[in-house]
Amino acid sequence: MALVLGLDLSTQSATALVIDTQRGTTIARARAGFGPDFPDRQHPEGFIRGGLQGEVHADPLLWLDGLELALQRLAKLTDLALIESVSVSGQQHGSVYLGAGYRAALADGQVNTTLSQKISPVLSRRTSPIWMDSSTEVECREIAQALGGQQAVCDLTGSVATPRFTGPQIRRWAKQDPASWQRTERVHLVSSFFASVLAGADVAIDTGDGAGMNLMDIRRGDWSPAALAATAPDLARKLPPVRPGSTVAGNISAYFVARYGFSPSCKVVVGTGDNPSSLVGMGASRPGKVVISLGTSDTLFAAIEGIRTDSAGLGHAFGNPMGGSMSLVCVRNGSLAREAIRRECGYATWELFAQAVQASPAAQAAVLPLEETEITPRRAAGRIAFGKPVTKDTLARAAVEGQALSLRLHSRWVGTPTTQLLLTGGASENPAVAKIFADVFGAPVYRLAVSDSAALGAALRAAEAAGCGLKMADLERIFCAPAPGVVEPDPSLRQAYDHLEASLAKALAV
């Protein structure tokens, strides 16, 4: 047996996935939902809405408690002493702020206090801004101005200054609360924070997640002194270093050995963001496949040769944890919007939703359901209808078609035709949704046999980096084989969807 563990700290849950690289099998999976498993904490969705000017934060102590619950559940399913290496996938852009004493808190191996009890006293900021936060328009403008305009920021960091990105978030807080900023000794991303917790010491940020900060020089794969200076005072000292995604950070900390029975020789590999991690977990870390992940946010991403950036400023270039770079398009109104439509239409289950979609005619009417302020395209909450009028009976189909068409339109800049689509995330299991994506993109849709691609990506990176003896290409072949049942596109719909995409572009005037 050669077991490795992948952890995914996402917006709504902590997932732990154990695979056996010798036998090529999944051994165990455990999850803790930040909302449902911790009702007393009163964050039913796992994050805190309704902050000032579009602030959306989360409680990092709840994340830590979620990790412990997922590990407790995992320990009932498999012997954690057999795990040889572990790595982390984390929701991107979210940041954790630590002050005096944080190194000792990370290293504290005592089991009489939990992780959240150890970390609570050393947080210099009680809550963590997350990717849903849109409060930093002003800071984005200031950063862009200091760096010579948005095009210059995009060329340097791979993205224009973007409200949810960590640099603008840091700037806003450093301006709001300079005293607490001064007391802050370390800023971590979600992925590097959890890798640090696991290792009991500061762990670097990888080039995949580091690129989601507007702070890293995308070509050099290291912090850009100019971007740091444009963001906040003293930032260089407060950030961990940047390292490639294949770096082994050290061994697991004494806490995890004593509390969960891990072996002291278990290796911790640097973490990465959930999208770069899914790129690996979907078997798409080399160019050729396009991945669409239908989760809280919907994202489209693909490994790319060289570096390409979106001059419209909506798409992003990130580091690929396996080397090179990846493109990313992120839509905020993903599963929460689909859920709102399902409730509004009165379909009690997703099966009924799927039946309604299948019963409506394709490529006629479409609507972009924006329950919240959207980032791609940048629009206030509301509905953008295009094509024929939408009725209550056609709304479910129209909404999914609208989402798919918007992703197609906003990923044109990537420049490579989609010949194979890999679909992941909760909604990808819905046959009606998968069929719409096949038809809209005009490409066959494959789904992965393992549903937790971000956690799987973390496990595969942990395996390769810690020397399991297999190369990533072999690991992908073994673990990322698509589930049986390809969903073929209907070529007769091609023209109708071309027209609908043109109508959407017109409605958005892009």
What's the rounded Cα separation, in Å, for the pair 187 and 370? Answer: 32
Structural contact between residues 93 and 276, judged by C-beta atoms closer than 8 angstroms: no
Near ligand XUL in 166-225, by CB under 6 A: 212
Of residues 276 and 489, the one with the C-beta less far from ligand XUL: 276
Stretch that binds ligand XUL, among 12-20, 85-93, 149-157, 198-206 (CB under 6 A): 85-93
CB of 233 to ligand XUL, least distance (A): 26
What's the rounded Cα separation, in Å, for the pair 297 and 434? Answer: 16
Of residues 314 and 363, the one with the C-beta less far from ligand XUL: 314
Q: Which of 504, 292, 253 is nearest to 414 (CA)?
A: 292
- Binding of residue 21 to ligand XUL (CB under 6 A): no
Of residues 91 and 224, the one with the C-beta less far from ligand XUL: 91
Stretch that binds ligand XUL, among 90-98, 243-251, 261-269, 404-412 (CB under 6 A): 90-98
Q: Which is it for strands 267-269 and 83-90: parallel, antiparallel or unpaired?
A: parallel
Of residues 281 and 442, the one with the C-beta less far from ligand XUL: 281
Of residues 299 and 320, the one with the C-beta less far from ligand XUL: 299
Paired with 290 in beta bridges are 421
Of residues 212 and 489, the one with the C-beta less far from ligand XUL: 212
Residue 138 in tokens = 């002003």
What's the rounded Cα separation, in Å, for the pair 469 and 465? Answer: 9
Of residues 164 and 188, the one with the C-beta less far from ligand XUL: 164
DSSP string, 443-471: S-EEEBSSS-HHHHHHHHHHHHHTT-S--
What's the rounded Cα separation, in Å, for the pair 148 and 152? Answer: 6
Stretch that binds ligand XUL, among 28-36, 71-79, 89-97, 422-430 (CB under 6 A): 89-97
Q: Is 447 left (phi over 0), alpha (psi -120 to 50) or beta?
A: beta
Residue 343 in tokens = 């409730």
What's the rounded Cα separation, in Å, for the pair 218 and 224? Answer: 9
Of 29, 93, 238, 259, the one binding ligand XUL by CB under 6 A: 93
Paired with 392 in beta bridges are none
Near ligand XUL in 316-345, by CB under 6 A: 328, 330
Number of chain residues interacting with ligand XUL (CB under 6 A): 14
CB of 59 to ligand XUL, least distance (A): 17
Of residues 5 and 279, the one with the C-beta less far from ligand XUL: 279
Near ligand XUL in 247-286, by CB under 6 A: 273-275
**What's at 443, amino acid-wise?**
A
What's the rounded Cα separation, in Å, for the pair 6 and 450? Answer: 13
CB of 93 to ligand XUL, least distance (A): 5
- Binding of residue 164 to ligand XUL (CB under 6 A): yes
Question: Which residues of the chain form contacts with ligand XUL (CB under 6 A)?
Answer: 11, 91-93, 131, 164, 212, 273-275, 297, 299, 328, 330
